[in-house]
Amino acid sequence: MKKLILLLCVLLASLLILSAAFADTASVRFAKSSGQVNGGFSYTLTMKVKSAAEQDLVIPLTCKENGDKLTVTIPAGSTEGTAEYMTQPVEKSTSLTFTAEAGEGYSLKSNKFTLKVLSLPKVKFSRSIYFGYAGKTATINITFTNPGNVVRGSVFQLRNQHGTVLCEKSWSSGSGSHSFQVQVTPEMNGKNLLSVWMGDYKISEKNGYGAFTDLSRKAVRTVPTNEPWVAVTLDCGWYGDQMPLVLPTLEKYGAHCTFFMTGFFIRTFTKEAQDAIDGGHEIANHTNFHPKMAKNKRKINRLNQVAIPNQDAQRLLGVRPRLFRPPYGDYDEETMALVRAEGMEIIIWTVDSHDWDKKYDYNKIWKRVTKSIKPGDIILFHLNGHHTPAILEKLIPYIQDELGYKCVTVSELLASAGMDLPPVVDEGTEEFLEPENTPDTIPAGGSEG
């Protein structure tokens, strides 16, 4: 009996010793069996233990595919430890298998983790051109061309050409359409070449065009100058035959004017346009083919109308227009944003001479123009207007001698009042222009009103 009791005591002691040994061995496992990440980004590998150990648990890991090694440490008193693994960019999805090795003070409950490495998501803008206004929210829509490659929690940034982050957002899925909500500030005014970034990677294949402006800044109709100056302007749409009649008059009286020229005019009457420049006059933009900018928005590419005359003026005349006049004075908020994005200001007029109107004879035009001329006024004529050369022959000395005013360009008038022009951004416009199918021919009944 005593022997039996002694044997039982020995067995009980052995069990207690084994139990203590097992109690000192922590059971370690991966927090998840698999995960995914975009190549070029790091992934956090996490391992857990049910009960905290009294000492640090150091678990070596090895990547089966490339032999990379890293270590997860679960600190003493903690139940979790992590390690960051930096992946390489990949052209197509691949899988990496990490195996944990047994070590001192722990046993492995699970020793394998699979990491799926995805290629970067790709984005395209839903539209080419977006408009935004200071103090308001601009919605920039995008779609993912490979939505399955968007990892939950990824952060995407909308940036402009200066690297400024305009908006930041994350989506749990890449399916469907998505949008950045940009709070437009005055600092964003002008042309913004939009791109989408994920970390250090640009994931939009093509740029978007953001035309942002401050609508509290109105189009110019008159200039609050302290100088006794006025601006005589001539719109040049379809015809250049009266340029040889107008320029000698301006030269005779030492007057400088602003000529608002269409792209058609610059290309067709390049010599006449160059003669105006040689005479010290200013060349400005009057669209490409003289459309109503606001009312025909579905029939024309409005960026073409704004940008092409600038390109023609630079290419053929060596000048960059900084002012824009919409035909018929027809414009809207989007036109204003586009014009300013292309580095110009919208110039309307204070006085319309009505030299385009066949109902107005010489005397009626004269009375209309001279009724009340004030410093800062902008007077509208047309190069091909009725009686325009004869009116100018009389008007210029009247303004200078009888009123005591000086005839200057619109830019000079703006500068006298300290009015700055929008900044010029040279890059980016070309990629957004559409092929022009309209030939350089004057349309039937081409109007210059």
SS3 336: helix
Percent share of the chain, pLDDT over 70:
92
Same domain, 52 and 133: no
Helix residue ranges per DSSP H, 313-426: 333-341, 362-370, 388-397, 410-416
Same domain, 190 and 256: no
The pLDDT of residue 249 is above 50: yes
Across 9-33, average pLDDT: 61
Residue 298 falls inside a structural domain: yes
Chain-centre distance of CA 199, in angstroms? 19
> Residue 298: what pLDDT?
59
Only one residue has tokens 């008038």, namely 413
Same domain, 235 and 153: no
Residue 2 falls inside a structural domain: no
Residue 154 falls inside a structural domain: yes
Across 282-295, average pLDDT: 94
Same domain, 70 and 178: no
Residue 149 falls inside a structural domain: yes
pLDDT, one tens digit per residue, over 162-195 is: 999 999 999 988 888 899 999 999 999 999 999 9
SS3 297: coil
Binning pLDDT at 50, 70 and 90, where does residue 128 land?
A: very high
Paired with 141 in beta bridges are 179
Q: What is the CATH number of the domain that holds 254?
A: 3.20.20.370
- Domain limit, last residue, from 213, 243, 265: 213
> Residue 434: what pLDDT?
87
Residue 308 falls inside a structural domain: yes
Q: Sign of dihedral through CA atoms 85, 87, 92, 94?
A: negative
pLDDT, one tens digit per residue, over 87-108 is: 999 999 999 999 999 888 999 9
> Residue 436: what pLDDT?
76
Rounded Cα distance, 438 and 261, in Å: 17
Residue 85 falls inside a structural domain: yes
Same domain, 260 and 353: yes
Domain around 335: 229-432
Same domain, 244 and 166: no
Inter-residue contact 318 to 266 (CB < 8 Å):
no
Only one residue has tokens 């207690």, namely 16
Residue 111 falls inside a structural domain: yes
- Domain limit, last residue, from 87, 118, 149: 118
Per the structure, the count of domains in the chain is: 3
Same domain, 113 and 127: no
Rounded Cα distance, 235 and 449, in Å: 9
Q: What is the CATH number of the domain that holds 70?
A: 2.60.40.2030
Q: Which of 176, 178, 170, 174 is nearest to 153 (CA)?
A: 170
Rounded Cα distance, 441 and 300, in Å: 17
Residue 175 falls inside a structural domain: yes
Rounded Cα distance, 278 and 297, in Å: 36
The pLDDT of residue 139 is above 90: yes
- Domain limit, last residue, from 99, 118, 137: 118
Same domain, 248 and 381: yes
The pLDDT of residue 16 is above 70: no
Same domain, 202 and 250: no
Q: How many helices (H) and strands (E) does the chain have?
A: 9, 26
Same domain, 359 and 273: yes
Same domain, 182 and 74: no
Q: What is the CATH number of the domain that holds 159?
A: 2.60.40.10
Of the CA atoms within 13 Å of residue 70, those in its CB half-sphere come to 20
Same domain, 302 and 197: no
> Residue 110: what pLDDT?
84
Residues 6+ apart with CB under 8 A from 356: 382, 385, 386, 447, 448, 449
If one counts every other C-beta atom within 10 angstroms of the C-beta of residue 445, the result is 5
> Residue 26: what pLDDT?
84
